[in-house]
Amino acid sequence: MGDSLYILLRPHTMAGGFLQWPIWKPYEIYASIDYVYGQPGWDEKDGFGGGQGAINAIEAVLYGLYLMLVYNHGIKAAGGSGVQIGQGVNGWMSGGVKVAGKRGNTALIIGFTASVMTLSKTVLYYLVEYYAGFKNTAHNDWFTLFLFYGVMNGLWVIFPAYMTVTFGSDILAGLDAAVESSEKKQN
């Protein structure tokens, strides 16, 4: 959510802005590495930063709803990962948490949607930079680019990809179970 607010409240969160200290002071580092976040992106009215900031806000709300469902309706699960069909969602919180029934299904769909949004947006972020000739990052040395742009942003590919596959597999397993149940009733 901090990322969203940094982008959406610019220029006040940028260097010299009245909202910068103390929350967004560390963003100066990233703003100097990736100009989408920095003064050049702001001056050029690069709309991608604002667009991704708005999507970040939606993702944050969805992740918040997912966590709220797991926290408010979850029960400790004994082992396992992913969804236990007919029993609910096993969350990725420590020890595993199950959310039974319709609330579990709702949590599953919300988690899947949020993770697909995060994964797609991050891959799009990389692709936009690539097709723009690295105009916002080419000024960096290779180490800085690799560590701060590649690795740090790469985490926003790896974890959402894992969540997307896990939640998607659980959705498919639930749909398969529903089809099997329907076929048994017809026979």
pLDDT tens-digit series, residues 87-138: 444 444 334 677 778 888 899 999 999 999 999 999 999 999 999 999 999 9
Q: What is the pLDDT of residue 29?
A: 92
Q: What is the pLDDT of residue 86?
A: 40
Domain extent at residue 100: 2-186
Q: What is the pLDDT of residue 80?
A: 53
Q: What is the pLDDT of residue 70?
A: 87
Reported pTM: 0.84
CA distances (Å), origin 121, targets 36, 40, 58, 77, 114: 14, 21, 12, 32, 11
Q: What is the pLDDT of residue 183?
A: 79
Amino acid 99 reads: V
Give yes or no for a contact between 114 and 69, defined as CB atoms under 8 angstroms apart: no
CA distances (Å), origin 87, targets 74, 103, 105, 170, 187: 11, 11, 10, 12, 25
Q: What is the pLDDT of residue 87?
A: 45
Number of domains in the chain: 1
**CA distance linking residue 22 with residue 85, whole number of Å:** 46
**CA distance linking residue 137 with residue 155, whole number of Å:** 18
Residues 6+ apart with CB under 8 A from 123: 157
Q: pLDDT under 70 in the chain at which residues?
A: 76-96
